[in-house]
Amino acid sequence: MPAVNQSSEKPTALIALADGQLFYGKGFGAPGETVAELVFNTAMTGYQEIMTDPSYAGQVVTFTFPHVGNVGTNAEDDESGDVPAAAGLVVKWDPTEPSNWRSAGDLGDWLAKHGKIGMGGVDTRRLTRAIRQQGAPHVALAYNPDGVFDVEGLVRKAREWKGLVGLDLAKDVTCAQSYHWDEMRWAWPEGYKAREGKGLKVVAIDYGAKRNILRCLASAGCDVTVLPATATAEEVLALNPEGVFLSNGPGDPAATGAYAVPMIKDILKTDLPVFGICLGHQMLALALGAQTIKMNHGHHGANHPVKDLTTGKVEITSMNHGFAVDAQTLPKGVTETHISLFDGSNCGIALAGRPVFSVQYHPEASPGPQDSYYLFERFAEAIRGRRAA
């Protein structure tokens, strides 16, 4: 297939797909090369949150919405640590001068500071069609201000990359040691405030936890202690929790499950409420005896309709996952509670007769904007119910 270049200027960035397709454009951010899986995201806002979501580790994100970078960047919108988890980003139009009262910096400068590649001037609709047709492809993304590229070498690197199947990335993005979290959701005009007083003791397992998930737990009344992904059941129970939360994260759930599933199985032997999101949902499903599968191109965006089968209501949700729980493998006693209205894939489960449940989507991301916040309240109420009993 011929190379695609929308700009009349000499291209300074190139994304090479494993099948040989080439897309040229204008680079910004940090010069260099990276090899990753390519996914598209349909959200119209939140590019900084997306780039800093640990669930995007090992992935280059192309945005279907053209106006990316127009509100700049700021420290409050980071969802994880010091470096964005996503490998790079591809956009249709070059980022413009930011115009927003919260902006503290330019997207290109922010990417350069963190050593991440940005690429503009790309026909992202055509690139998205390629992703949908062949599945999330392996790609090599390069930015060279001189416009010189080893095209054959980049295609070869994309083809030789092993991909996310079988890859445990949670260990790369999890916290190094435990810590306490008390910051609540952002509210006007105070911004982020700390939760005060005694709360519901929750241990959150960090497979790549987003900060806003932890904020939502705190806002629901939880006193949160975060443990690394490799924490054992003994370490969790030693903290005398009243509930256990399983966070989002990147990579192949089956690979992470090698050490996460035994811990969760032991937690399930207790009467503790358990709540999981995204990778945490998949970890819980594996621990209950189900299986996960790799999706063609996954779900990535802030406009995904999900039906709650227990109430009949439809929620507009934010999603970011390339693997899914295979509903056909759910064992007896595990109920499918939510499904995607795009493709019917599983989006939630619950253990019969127990306060144990999880969802595939991100209720903290507020695309509804409040459609799914009830899940955090449900978790908190389960803990209060256990206290009362």
Q: Are 83 and 114 in contact (CB under 8 A)?
A: yes
**Smallest Cα–Cα separation from 212: which of 224, 200, 227?**
224
Cβ distance 203 to 225 under 8 Å?
yes
**Active-site residues: which are they?**
278, 362, 364
- Residue 369, preceding peptide bond in cis (omega within 30° of 0): yes
d(CA 177, CA 231): 10
Distance between CA atoms of residues 205 and 245, nearest Å: 6
Q: Are strands 88-90 and 117-120 parallel, antiparallel or unpaired?
A: parallel
Q: Which residue(s) pair with 228 in the sheet?
A: 206
Dist CA 292 CA 342 (whole Å): 18
Closest CA to 206 of 265, 153, 283, 137: 283
Name the phi and psi angles at 381, rounded to 5.
Answer: -65, -35
DSSP 8-state assignment for residue 183 = B
Q: How many CA atoms lie within 13 A of 247 on its CB side?
A: 36
**Which residues lie below 8 Å from residue 319, measured CB to CB, with a gap of 6+?**
299, 300, 301, 304, 360, 361, 362
Residues 6 or more apart whose Cβ sits within 8 Å of residue 292: 252, 253, 254, 282, 285, 286, 323, 324, 325, 326
